[in-house]
Amino acid sequence: MRTSPESTERVRRQYLRGILTAFCVSLLTLSISLPSFPIEGRVEADSVQEKVFPGESWVRIQTPESVGYSGEGLKEIVEYTKTLNTTGLMVVVGGRVLFEYGDIEQLSYLASVRKSILAMLYGNYVADGTIDLKKTLSDLEMTDHGGLLPIEVEATVEHLITARSGIYHPASNSGDNLADAPPRGSQKPGEYFLYNNWDFNAAGAAFEIMTGRNIYDALETDLAQPINMQDFDRSRHRKSGNLNRSMYPAYHMHLSTRDMARVGYLMLREGNWGGRQIIPRDWAHKIVSVVTPLEEMNPERMRNDSFGYGYMWWVWDGPDATGPLKGAYTGKGAYGQYITVLPALDMVIVHKTAVPPQRRTNWGQYEGIIERIIAARIEDN
């Protein structure tokens, strides 16, 4: 039987459709079985969630339980904090605000937390060679009233920012352990720790000598602007001290609680802010690494505490540096100024007691806040 041309064409079309269908099915099967690869330049969703950064303002966590904290536990922190002289408190977890108390916008005195911030400012200038940490006071032609001893001028900039200079000249401001200092000239630079404001103030002067910049200008351009501080006011920052005691004034700083939290969060993120390296990562690690371990702290009574010392940051060391406090560090300032970073909890805690009037929240009282925040973790209950 002869086949018509129309029948032949119909069969041919059915055959081609069959081949095309089989090919499409094969492609679909292949695409399902192949592993997926990220497209170059695409940021994975998990990465975004892990590293949240505040923009013009902080994002707040609406439900504490969603990030592993008890709402009832946080209420206990409020009741405890009411018994203190706290004027501002913020707790940041994963880049968002878990808890806040008081006036977090008020600009006030940071006391010795200024030193921790100066350590951060050093980073970029050390990295590009503008600052040489091995330069001595002799190299920089730095002296002070009454002169410095030959052994003292051999102290390096690094000795200053680790409080190991061996120079026990009176500072222009009080608030250190100079009363516990050994005799001048008795300690070789680098061999003995003593918390001494002369070192820290001279470190500020050395920064300005080597960079040619005012500390407060650097604070504004190198830190406040890149991390979008909300309340920074350059005009509030002035140096002070008794210049008849020492040539080097203290470089006091005034920040708000919520801007202190940005400083702490920058440190938690190893100097990175939204993908931009504001402080070299290795420097961010270095300044919160132990230089003086707990067992070498002076005066000796400090060895009964929980801290060693890095580069103008206090670092948890010894038996207490475990669990939530593993790798933790803090800036401490008189009257109750603290920036505390707990990497194990992806957390920053910031505390202010604004002065004047003269009131204070001591470390033991603030430690009570830290303990209650840790206790509010649901997995610990």
DSSP 145-212: TT---TTGGG-BHHHHHTT-----PPPSS--SSGGGPPPTTSS-TTS-----HHHHHHHHHHHHHHH-
Closest CA to 267 of 236, 313, 229, 221: 313
Report how far residue 114's alpha carbon sits from residue 159's, in angstroms, rounded to the nearest whole number: 18
Structure tokens at 377: 């973790």
Q: 120 with 267: CB under 8 angstroms?
A: yes
> CB-hemisphere CA count at 13 Å for 291?
22
Extents of the domains making up the chain: 64-380
Per CATH, which fold does 64-380 belong to? Beta-lactamase (3.40.710)
For each of the chain's 381 residues, which pLDDT tens digit applies?
Answer: 444 444 444 434 444 454 444 444 343 333 333 332 232 222 333 333 468 999 999 999 999 999 999 999 999 999 999 999 999 999 999 999 999 999 999 999 999 999 999 999 999 999 999 999 999 999 999 999 999 999 999 999 999 999 999 999 999 999 999 999 999 999 999 999 999 999 999 999 999 999 999 999 999 999 999 999 999 999 999 999 999 999 999 999 999 999 999 999 999 999 999 999 999 999 999 999 999 999 999 999 999 999 999 999 999 999 999 999 999 999 999 999 999 999 999 999 999 999 888 899 999 999 999 999 999 999 755
Which two structure tokens, joined as six digits, stand for 37?
A: 């690869």
CA proximity to 264, closest of 318, 332, 200 = 332
Rounded distance between C-alpha atoms, residue 229 and residue 11, angstroms: 75
Q: Which amino acid is at 75?
A: K
Give CA torsion, residues 243, 248, 249, 253, to 10 deg: 180
d(CA 279, CA 266): 8
